Chain A
């Protein structure tokens, strides 16, 4: 599952 730190990338 993707974490918040991955979701930060555009």
Chain B
């Protein structure tokens, strides 16, 4: 565990908490893409199935459980509790165009052709593009609420920090994972336009 990895995890956790609190406090999920949230639930479920097969550390297990619980909690709030506020007219990104290529790619390019490894690979590929329905929704409606922007900034920063962690690990431990690195870079690049707007508006805006 290095500082970049820890900051990345904190940023990820922060993003999820911001989203849950926003929905809970405003009793509304307006502006949030349910499709992205469903994709994230698929990502965590596929990746964290190893919770039952390989124990790493208490930190690792607890974080996995928190991400799973928060993700399903968000889905519950969006699709059941505050269903009336869900903005589905603007949430129209076709997620099969993301899921099917990721399934195919994970079957073709993986570290080992075994069920859990393929699920892990699939989750890495899908995570890299899972935010697209949300970014599409923001561009469609013109602007995101500031709290939604903070959520997106924290969520985008998480993978960017992981890239720094991989650079560090490459030099310090001679360790690298090509699949995670390439997907992580794709994921971070997708946020670049948003990062630019967030930072310039944050500094010069109002």
Is B117 in contact with chain A by the CB < 8 A criterion? yes
A-B contacts at CB below 8 angstroms, number: 32
A2-B120, A4-B56 given; A9·B162 CB < 8 A: yes
CB-CB < 8 A to B56: which residues of A? 4, 7-8
Q: Could you tell me if A6 and B175 are in contact, using CB atoms closer than 8 angstroms?
A: yes
A2-B120, A4-B54 given; A9·B180 CB < 8 A: yes
Interface size class of B (residues with CB under 8 A): 20 to 34
| Distance (whole angstroms) from the CB of B110 to the closest CB of chain A | 10
Most buried by A among B12, B60, B165: B60
Task: Select A8's contact among B12, B57, B111, B112, beta carbons within 8 Å.
Answer: B57
Is B27 in contact with chain A by the CB < 8 A criterion? no
A2-B111, A2-B112, A2-B120 given; A7·B54 CB < 8 A: yes
10 contacts between A and B (CB under 8 A): A2-B111, A4-B56, A5-B175, A6-B180, A8-B56, A8-B60, A9-B5, A10-B60, A10-B63, A10-B64
Seed contacts A1-B111, A6-B177; 15 additional CB < 8 Å A-B pairs: A1-B112, A1-B117, A2-B112, A2-B117, A2-B120, A6-B175, A6-B180, A7-B50, A7-B54, A8-B1, A8-B56, A8-B60, A9-B5, A9-B180, A10-B64
